[in-house]
Amino acid sequence: VAKTVNIVKEKWGKVMRELEPVKDGSTVTAFIEDPSGDRFELLGRRLTREPLCKVMLQADNLDCVIAFYEKAVGMKLLHKIVNPK
């Protein structure tokens, strides 16, 4: 999560709340905002094989959100489902 927060700061995202530990001590959290104003909570737990296992996004402008994550965080789109409702 700390690495992702730093990438967001360096690129064109906005950190709404800096990285901080959650009460139980095994989790950290931060809040970020993408250029279209969508806000996300990042959660980091104890080490796993993959630092980020899954992201599900619901957005009015999905292409803008995808572009943000590809450019600002370096993620790669693997699968996309568009629900018209």
List 20, 41, 50, 70, catalytic entry: 41
Yes or no: say if 14 and 33 are a contact pair by the CB < 8 Å rule.
Answer: yes
Long-range contacts of 23-32 (CB under 8 A, 24+ apart): 28/1, 28/2, 29/1, 30/1, 30/4, 30/5, 32/4, 32/5, 32/8
Query: 41 an active-site residue?
Result: yes
Yes or no: say if 42 and 5 are a contact pair by the CB < 8 Å rule.
Answer: yes
By annotation, the residues acting in catalysis are 41
